[in-house]
Amino acid sequence: MTLAERKFMKELDNLILTASDSQLKKLQELDLRTQLEGSNFYDIFSKHNKKLARNSNALSIEKKKRK
């Protein structure tokens, strides 16, 4: 496991430990789906997280264009 992977896992673990009830519910749903699919929770979360980051970047760029 690379240093980047260990760092990501530590950050995700911290996110889980400090999450609100609604965030935990979403994480729990994702975890259940990954178990049913036989996927790795950390892999799926990282892909999902990258999509969210791209979408938020696109939204912030769009807001800047409107100004």
pLDDT in tens, 13-47: 888 899 899 988 988 888 898 889 888 888 887 77
- Residue 49 burial (C-beta neighbours within 10 Å; 0-12, 13-18, 19+): middle
Which residue ranges make up each domain of the chain?
15-66
* Span 41-67, pLDDT tens digits: 888 877 776 655 555 443 333 344 444
Round to whole Å and give the CA distance between 60 and 17.
Answer: 28
Q: Residue 21: what pLDDT? A: 92
Give the whole-angstrom CA distance, residue 18 versus residue 30.
17
